[in-house]
Amino acid sequence: MLGEGQVGLFNHLWGDYTRDRALDGGTGTEILINPDGVVTSVGIPATGQLPEGVTSLVERDRAGSENALDAISVGDTLTVESSVTSDAGEISAAIGANAMLVADGEPVGSGTATAPRTAIGFNEAGTVMYLLVVDGRQASSDGLGLADLGVLMAELGIYSGANLDGGGSTTMGAVPPGETEAQIPHNPSDGYERPVPNGIGLYVERGSGEVIGYSISSLLQVGQPDRVFPGLTRQIQAKGYDETGSAVPGTVPAWSTSTGSVAVESNGDHTATLTGVAAGSDTVTASQNDANGTMNVQVLGELDRIELSPSVIQLSTSDEVGSFTVYGYDKHGYRAPIDANDVVIEGDEAGSFTIESGTSGTFAVTANEENAASPISVSVNGIKAEAALTVGVDTLPLVDFSDAAEWTAGQARAPGVTVTPAEGHEGKNGVAIDFDFTQSTGTRGAYAVAPNGGFEIPGQPTALTAWVNGNKDGAWPRIQVRQADGTTTQLDGPTEVFEGWQQVTFAVPCGVEYPLTFQMYRIMETRPAAQYTDTVIISDLQALVPTEVELPKTEEVTDSVVVPTGATDDSPLRIAVVSDAQFVARNPESGAVEGARESFREVLAEDPDLLIINGDFVDEAAPEDSELAQRIIDEELGDFPYIYVPGNHEIMGGDIQNFIDAFGATNGYLDVDGTRLIYLNSAPGSLSHDFAQLTMAKNALDDAAVNDDITGVLVFQHHPVDDPLPTKASQLSNRLDAEMLRDWLEEFRAESGKQVSNIAAGVGIFHAMTLDGIPYFINGNAGKSPTGGSSGSFTGWTMVGIDPAGATSNNPRDWISFEVNTRVDEDGLSLGEVPSSFEEYGEAVTLNPTMVQDDGVRSMPVAWPMSYAWSGENVHVGSVDEAPEGTVAAFNAETNTLTPLAPGDASLTLAVNNKTVTAEFTVEADIIIVTPEAPVFEANVITIPEVEGVDYVIGDQVVSGDVEITEDVTVVARALEGYALDETATASWDFVYVAPAPEVGNLFYFVNSWDKTTEDVRIAFGNEGDEIFVGDWDGDGKDTLAIRRGNEFFVNNELTGDLPQDTFHYGRPGDDVIVGDWDGDGTDTLGVRRGSMFYLVNELKGGHADISFNYGREADVVHVGDWDGDKIDTIMVQRGKAFFANNALIGGNAEEEFFYGKLGDEVFAGDFDGDEVDTLAVRRGNTFYVKNEIAGGNADIEINYGKATDVIHIGDWDGDGVDTPVVNRYVG
């Protein structure tokens, strides 16, 4: 820029840019001079390209005085000469500078506007020159104001310094020793080197060309190539340089190592192959004569898994070069890139792509055609991962807004949003979103919602684009899509300020589940102070869709730092973590509040040492929300110790001061039983917003590293260093802060040897990942519904267990464990279908353990990262091979496979948090099916057959051969061990002892049908003159006998002559006794009649009557039977040949009256045809006249049986439902 009265010179090299820029807003004069030195023009400074040979002189006007160029006229001849003058004396080099920033060692710069900066300075003696650049206009660095730049330069020791050209021009190039090309050791704000007309550099004279040292590096320049796995290789190179640092090519150094952890072999030139031998550190040396160089190498643990970054390589055209890196991990999460020589690639049989070794990645990828796709498989030492390659991208129309009138409005904290049809880009259809973001300081949103639930986006897009008219206030545009698995995902656009039409791109993150469904266009505002109204028009949505390919499948990486249920119970230090309830005061009975309360109750039941509330406990930052949070804490926790760490929702629509007023400090540290807990405020998505907390955190880490009383450190902040979900929406948005924190933790771990872990929240899932020996844990939601699409998408809380004894172990899992306590509904655990019976060494079954939570809102498989525990009775939890001998079953908890082993009963129990579920089952012996043969019975002798695998038993005695019986017996066949009876075979046989028929005594001759002429059973029972009664005394369906002597009764339940020992007394000796089933229970009991009163009991015992009533006359003859088939016996009385029946045990008039038989007939009641209804029969001499209905008239059947002098009783002796006679004769 020209000062007043100063003159500037321009020629054709200036280009067509206006030359009045040099006036810095002032006025001035320009003259043009042709190649012959003649002035051709005098006027104001103009624009346009100057012809070659033409010179322009521009002078800035000086107020109140004449200008030098005012005396020059067109046609004058001028000679222009220039030289460098300076008070400093002879000039070696010169460059235009801007403001002085340091003078006499003191900062003198002014200005706070931040930008990328370039500066130059010297020490006081003038012997050291400083060249300085500061990155800016990017997420990792805003840049510096001139005042701060001056302070920085003074702190560096600069005595005199000035600002040079900055902004996008800020660029530094440097040539490291041994290299021939300049490298850019920082990040220019344009993302590349901008052409700049001036610069300053340091050059050296050519050196001797004799090598004095080597720079050793890996050929693969990605990740941490100074790490290698045992058995894998790294290609390294040694570049020689001379005393000036200039490259000395062509040397072949010798190679050596210091500890033997690696082996190195020359490749015959300046390169070598390094091979990992054993875990540890080593130093590789390249040397030639006195020249040498070294490279430190770390050999990690054995390779545990690999991953590809990226796993989908998408090329727009065949001219583009892509790359991917194969990374390996050991079991403690230490990562290293893997060289191409150690990788086997399979796939792409069509040869659509060329895959070659790379330097910026393990492999470089180019396409051999314009549109192609191919999945590939990558393996290292048999460990595999998948990738996909595509070339070609189509731009497909997504929404043309022809249905704009059907789009609807949605909002969050912005009432009044409207969505209406509007003219879009280049006259196409569009929608206008009108919104008012002045009604809240919380996060606000205005949405244009697609009709009919949205529409499917074709293919596998890598980005969506939309033409947007205006974003003058810098709102945040987002597109909401739904993944194929149902997860809602936000595609983020830039918060760039612009006016007029501009195409905005929304990148689709890697790892989403296709196809995607477009749901809505969202305009968001997260800045509390940003208050405005606006109208934004959107139109012409498009999808950038590469050639479709089968996406690689990736297995979820689990981490054993998450331990089973109950595993932290005995930890010396236990710290509970609760986060992300996200309730609001205006809804104090919400599910989010209940989730917070339930989490606190579960925490108190476990009685940890301390509780950490790790942010987003509330959803908004209003004082009322803090008051509700405090009330919940007071009511549920009481005086239990806790620390509340703020999250982004603690400043949602409010200042952090509201949190401080309610809960105190936002950061700090404390020591608990030898463990240091550092907690940080990441509410704005960064840590560096509060420089004092960075100082506190670094000092606390540094002190813990050397403090003998501290065995390990836990660092808490709400935002994780890395969000494991594809959108990365919840991680620390300041990635410089994220990397700084990661570096601090890794430095602490490496230098102190002590353990450290980082515990975050805010993602809406539970997750754990150990990287570089440091467990990074993300706590899930306590109240708010979780983020979908992850195995950690459930609600709950975490118990952190610390064992100081493991603080110096190489394995962090010896020191720390995370018990993830999943909330489970009552009866909310299930194992799925578990058979109740298995065959010995039979087929295994895979269980499907699931849990239901939050009153049935969510059902998920029980799996990592949930904490759960399996236990069993007679069940080995582990592999089948490790099951102890005799174990009934083995359960593999990794595959949920239950395998039957030995015979026996067993049970398997699953515990999740404070809930359990158990399945009981039996393993049956491996059996041979056998069919038992029937025993043979003759003359009271049973002949037992011999059958392999079959025992025959009577009672509990095994019998064989011929068995003589003296009573009724049942022979049962049973299978021996290792055998089973055919289910269709008969396995039980009843044999009736046939006692020798008695010849004398009180004999009874039983027949089971009326047409028999000889008895089926003959017994001698009781004494002559005993009063005989017939009934089914035990309810077995068969009638037997009882006798009465006085009022003592002897009841026999079998048709045998044995007189029972157990007797009872009932009634009086002179009572008229009757027998019947009075209550329909299938068992006959007694009743007595005294006059016309009946007294009935329902049990065979003495005592008071259960039923009593008055019926008939004292002289009546009584008969008992079930006259109506209702299973209950009632009374019928006989007067001569008239019969009066009642179907209820009550007095009063008879229900049925009829005449049957003749005077003098002997009458019997019974069920003579098996229809379950009792009727009458009469006997005259030895002829029976049977009537099968309760009515008069002729008999239905006439039967001759026995002698006219026989005493007859009627009963169902064989249980076939038909009553038949028994003859009683006394033979002396």
Q: Where are the domains of the chain?
A: 7-71, 93-175+187-203, 213-299, 305-391, 400-546, 573-822, 829-923, 928-991, 1001-1227
Which whole-number Å values give the CA distances from 6 to 25, 43, 57, 66, in the listed order? 14, 16, 10, 12
pLDDT at position 388 over 80: yes
User: How high is the pLDDT of residue 1056?
Assistant: 86
pLDDT tens digits, one per residue of 804-839: 999 989 999 999 999 999 999 999 999 999 999 998
pLDDT tens digits, one per residue of 562-572: 999 999 999 99
User: How high is the pLDDT of residue 517?
Assistant: 96
User: How high is the pLDDT of residue 1058?
Assistant: 81
- Which architecture does CATH list for 829-923? Sandwich (2.60)
Question: In 10 A of CB 787, how many CB atoms?
Answer: 23
Mean of the pLDDT values across residues 787-795? Answer: 89
pLDDT tens digits, one per residue of 601-623: 999 999 999 999 999 999 999 99
Mean of the pLDDT values across residues 619-635? Answer: 95
Task: Name residues whose C-beta falls within 8 Å of residue 608's C-beta, 6 or more positions apart in sequence.
Answer: 574, 575, 576, 799
Q: Which residue has the tokens 């033979």?
A: 1227
Mean of the pLDDT values across residues 515-534? Answer: 93
**Of 1109, 1047, 1105, nearest in space to 1072 by CA:** 1047
* Secondary element (H or E) of residue 1117: strand 1117-1121
Instruction: Pick the more confident residue, 1219 or 192.
Output: 1219
Mean of the pLDDT values across residues 333-348? Answer: 96
Q: How far apart are CA 396 and CA 399, in angstroms?
A: 10
Mean of the pLDDT values across residues 288-300? Answer: 97
**Cα–Cα–Cα angle for 309, 315, 321, rounded to 5 degrees:** 80
E strand spans, 424-515: 429-436, 444-449, 455-457, 463-471, 476-482, 488-492, 498-507
User: How high is the pLDDT of residue 311?
Assistant: 92
* Secondary element (H or E) of residue 271: strand 271-276
Q: How far apart are CA 829 and CA 826, in angstroms?
A: 8
User: How high is the pLDDT of residue 688?
Assistant: 93
Mean of the pLDDT values across residues 1191-1201? Answer: 90
User: How high is the pLDDT of residue 1201?
Assistant: 87
Residue 53 pLDDT grade (very low, low, confident, very high; cuts 50, 70, 90): very high
- Which tokens hold the place of 1144? 């209820």
Q: What is the mean pLDDT of the chain?
A: 93
Cβ-in-10-Å burial (0-12, 13-18, 19+) of 512 comes to buried
Mean of the pLDDT values across residues 878-897? Answer: 95
User: How high is the pLDDT of residue 838?
Assistant: 94
287 touches 295 (CB < 8 A): no
Fold designation for 573-822:
Purple Acid Phosphatase; chain A, domain 2 (3.60.21)
**Of 30, 26, 24, nearest in space to 68 by CA:** 30
| Backbone angles phi and psi of 616, in degrees to 5 | 55, 35
| β-bridge pairing 117-122 and 160-163 | antiparallel
**Of 508, 542, 557, 459, nearest in space to 727 by CA:** 508
User: How high is the pLDDT of residue 448?
Assistant: 97
Residues composing the chain: 1228
CB burial string 1185-1218: b at 16+ within 10 A, e below:
bbbbebeeeebeeebebbeeeeebbbbbbbeeeb
User: How high is the pLDDT of residue 202?
Assistant: 85
| Backbone angles phi and psi of 604, in degrees to 5 | -60, -35
* Secondary element (H or E) of residue 604: helix 591-606
pLDDT tens digits, one per residue of 61-101: 988 778 889 889 999 999 998 877 777 777 878 888 889 99
- Which tokens hold the place of 189? 């704000």
Q: Give the gyration radius of the chain's Cα atoms.
A: 51
Please give the span between the terminal C-alpha atoms of the chain, in angstroms, as a whole number: 155
By mean pLDDT, which of 338-342, 673-677, 921-925 is the weakest?
921-925
- Which architecture does CATH list for 213-299? Sandwich (2.60)
Task: Name residues whose C-beta falls within 8 Å of residue 587's C-beta, 6 or more positions apart in sequence.
Answer: 593
User: How high is the pLDDT of residue 1?
Assistant: 78
User: How high is the pLDDT of residue 525?
Assistant: 92
3-state secondary structure 1157-1209: CCCCCEEEEECCCCCCCCEEEEEECCEEEECCCCCCCCCCEEEECCCCCCEEE
**Cα–Cα–Cα angle for 15, 17, 23, rounded to 5 degrees:** 125
User: How high is the pLDDT of residue 723?
Assistant: 94
| β-bridge pairing 1207-1211 and 1197-1200 | unpaired
Angle between helices 623-637 and 656-663 in degrees, nearest 10? 30
pLDDT tens digits, one per residue of 398-414: 999 999 999 999 999 99
Q: How far apart are CA 1190 and CA 194, in angstroms?
A: 121
Partners of 354 in the β-ladder: 366
* Secondary element (H or E) of residue 634: helix 623-637
E strand spans, 123-206: 129-134, 160-163
Q: How far apart are CA 607 and CA 609, in angstroms?
A: 7
Mean of the pLDDT values across residues 1049-1071? Answer: 87
Q: How far apart are CA 441 and CA 654, in angstroms?
A: 6
Q: How far apart are CA 820 and CA 1075, in angstroms?
A: 72
Q: How far apart are CA 1102 and CA 1090, in angstroms?
A: 16
Instruction: Pick the more confident residue, 1192 or 768.
Output: 768
Residue 359 pLDDT grade (very low, low, confident, very high; cuts 50, 70, 90): confident
Q: How far apart are CA 374 and CA 368, in angstroms?
A: 12
Assess whether the region 305-391 and the region 400-546 belong to the same CATH fold.
Answer: no
pLDDT at position 275 over 90: yes
Q: Which residue has the tokens 């900055």?
A: 166
Share of residues in the chain with pLDDT > 90 (%): 81
293 touches 197 (CB < 8 A): no
pLDDT tens digits, one per residue of 1000-1040: 899 999 999 988 888 889 999 999 889 999 999 999 999 99
Instruction: Pick the more confident residue, 888 or 527.
Output: 888
Mean of the pLDDT values across residues 196-205? Answer: 84
pLDDT tens digits, one per residue of 216-241: 999 999 999 999 999 999 999 999 99
By mean pLDDT, which of 399-403, 458-462, 1057-1061 is the weakest?
1057-1061
Q: How far apart are CA 401 and CA 469, in angstroms?
A: 15
Q: How far apart are CA 633 and CA 782, in angstroms?
A: 14
User: How high is the pLDDT of residue 424?
Assistant: 95
Question: Hey, which CATH number is domain 305-391, 2.40.30.10, 2.60.40.3440, 3.40.50.720, 3.40.50.300?
Answer: 2.60.40.3440
Task: Name residues whose C-beta falls within 8 Å of residue 843's C-beta, 6 or more positions apart in sequence.
Answer: none
Q: Helix (H, G, I), strand (E, B), or coil: what is residue 1018?
A: strand
pLDDT tens digits, one per residue of 932-984: 999 999 989 999 999 999 999 999 999 999 999 999 999 999 999 888 899 99
pLDDT at position 867 over 90: yes
User: How high is the pLDDT of residue 267?
Assistant: 97
930 touches 975 (CB < 8 A): yes
Task: Name residues whose C-beta falls within 8 Å of residue 269's C-beta, 6 or more positions apart in sequence.
Answer: 252
Question: Hey, which CATH number is domain 400-546, 3.30.930.10, 2.60.40.1180, 2.60.120.260, 2.40.30.10?
Answer: 2.60.120.260
3-state secondary structure 869-936: EEEEECEEECCHHHCCCCCCEEEECCCCEEEECCCEEEEEEEEECCEEEEEEEEEECCCEEECCCCCE
